[in-house]
Structure formats: C-alpha cells, structure tokens
Amino acid sequence: SAVISQKPSRDICQRGTSLTIQCQVDSQVTMMFWYRQQPGQSLTLIATANQGSEATYESGFVIDKFPISRPNLTFSTLTVSNMSPEDSSIYLCSVRMGVGTEAFFGQGTRLTVV
Amino acid sequence: SQKIEQNSEALNIQEGKTATLTCNYTNYSPAYLQWYRQDPGRGPVFLLLIRENEKEKRKERLKVTFDTTLKQSLFHITASQPADSATYLCALDTNDYKLSFGAGTTVTVRA
C-alpha cells in the first residue's frame, strides 16, 4: 500500500498567478499520475510524472500550462500556471505499483481561481 | 471514440436493500476493471478489481460482475447501510498502466 500526502488541500488564487501542488508518498513507487476532477465529472488524467525525465502529457494538456517535476520516486509537484477561472477544479495525485494493481490517491487539492 | 458510462442518475435506496450500479464502456479492451469509492472532499479509495477472465468477484457485502461481451460491469452493495452513501467510480485498466474513470454514481442510503 501507499500513503500519499498532498498539499495544499485547498486554495483560492487570483487569475494570472500560479500554484504549485506537492505530492509526497511514503514509499518508492514507479508510476505516479496527476488527475483533474471537475464538479460532477470523472477524473481526467493530466499527465504521468516520470522520475528523472519530462512528464508524459495527455491530449489537451501541455507542459507550459501544467509543468510537472519528479525529482525522485517519492515526490512530485504539479504547477498550474497563469490560472484562469476555468482551472478551478480538484487536482489529485495518484500512484500505482503496476498494471492490474490498485491506485492510491491523495486527498486532493481544491483550487478556486477568482 | 472511447466512452465509459455509469448510471446517469443518483441512486437513493432504503437501508437493507441492494444497490446495483452499472458501468458500460465502448472502444476499450480492458484487461482489468476496478471500482472505487469517493467521499466528498476525499480522493477515491479502491474497493475491488476484477480480471477480464473472471465473471464475478466478491468482498464482504460487495459483488462485481464483468461481462466483456456486453462490455459491462455491475457493482452490487448488498444489505446497504447509511455508511455506504458515497460516489462509486468504475475504472478501466488497460495494459498501458493508465486508469480511465467513469463519472461515478452517487448512492444515498436512507435509514
């Protein structure tokens, strides 16, 4: 199993600013992911955070808007850049040990952009 | 295009009854299918995983079926309790290690 500490748990930000979300895992994990969940909608995968290399982004998400770092196997950050109200959402960090295994999630970061 | 659909309406049931949730998918070939529970303000929590060659899986009061011909999974909560009130998400697990989630079904169990 894995325990994930994600922070901040919530924030209210001004448009045009950036917010960095941190994800700390209590054990080394290979696969780490960042999701977005808009109200009443499913989790949408933003990117896979790769240790020591650039993240792999899903269609519709770009590095300039959502830069991701993963300096080691237990830590990652997601930055939401140049925010607009459309970025208001819940952002979730998740880890897995491999295909066919369960995913573990952080508590999420509820972001409101005003 | 790929699509995952869960019960579009919220489910309201009486305590003690069985809740049945559906998950239908198109244009996926999942090797596994997973179910998660999500409470307000929390991240999803894993409940059950079923493999493509398994028809049914049980865990305590939970039962999952998986029909790859119909491209459907059913999730049952038997002898439901108010503490079972939450949103339940299905997730398709293909061999590219990513999980694709449905929008979820919100279940409310009345005492």
Decide if pLDDT at B95 tops 70.
no
Minimum Cα–Cα distance from A90: chain B residue: B41
B68 secondary structure, DSSP code: T
Residue A2 located in a structural domain: no
Mean pLDDT over each residue of chain A, to the nearest integer: 95
B27: left (phi over 0), alpha (psi -120 to 50) or beta: left
Contacting residues for A57 by C-beta, under 8 A, at least 6 apart? A46, A47, A63, A66
Residue A41 is predicted with a pLDDT of 85
Residue A83 is predicted with a pLDDT of 97
Contacts of B4 in chain A (CB under 8 A): 42
Give the pLDDT confidence of B25-73 residue by residue, as tens digits. Answer: 999 889 899 999 999 989 999 999 999 999 999 999 999 999 999 999 9
For B35-45, letters b (16+ CB in 10 Å) and e give bbbbeeeebbe
Contacts of B101 in chain A (CB under 8 A): 42-43
Residue A32 is predicted with a pLDDT of 95
Give the pLDDT confidence of A26-57 residue by residue, as tens digits. Answer: 999 989 999 999 987 889 999 999 898 899 99
> Are A106 and B99 inside 8 Å of each other by CB?
no
Contacts of B100 in chain A (CB under 8 A): 45
Which of A69-78, A102-111, B29-38, B92-101 is predicted least confidently?
B92-101
Minimum Cα–Cα distance from B51: chain A residue: A100
Residue B7 is predicted with a pLDDT of 85
Give the pLDDT confidence of B4-15 residue by residue, as tens digits. Answer: 999 878 999 999
> Are A105 and B49 inside 8 Å of each other by CB?
no
Amino acid at B111: A
CATH code of the domain covering residue A71:
2.60.40.10
Domain count, chain A: 1
CA dist B87 and B109 (Å) reads: 12
Contacting residues for A60 by C-beta, under 8 A, at least 6 apart? none
CA dist B73 and B28 (Å) reads: 13
Using an 8 Å Cβ cutoff, are A44 and A36 in contact?
Answer: yes
Interface contact B106, partner A, CB < 8 A: no
CA dist B4 and A107 (Å) reads: 24
Residue B96 is predicted with a pLDDT of 76
Q: Which domain holds residue A47?
A: 9-113
Residue B20 is predicted with a pLDDT of 97
Residue A71 located in a structural domain: yes
Q: Which long-range contacts (CB under 8 A, 24 or more apart) does A76-81 make?
A: A76/A22, A76/A23, A76/A32, A76/A34, A76/A49, A77/A20, A77/A21, A77/A22, A77/A23, A78/A20, A78/A21, A78/A23, A78/A34, A78/A46, A78/A49, A79/A18, A79/A19, A79/A20, A79/A21, A80/A18, A80/A19, A80/A21, A80/A111, A81/A18
Decide if pLDDT at B90 tops 80.
yes
Helix H or strand E segment including B51: strand B45-51
Decide if pLDDT at A111 tops 70.
yes
- Domains of chain B, with CATH numbers? 3-110 (2.60.40.10)
Residue A1 located in a structural domain: no
Residues of chain A with pLDDT > 70: what percent?
Answer: 100
Interface test with A, best of B45, B59, B89, B101 (most A CBs within 10 A): B101
Decide if pLDDT at B97 tops 90.
no
Residue A79 located in a structural domain: yes
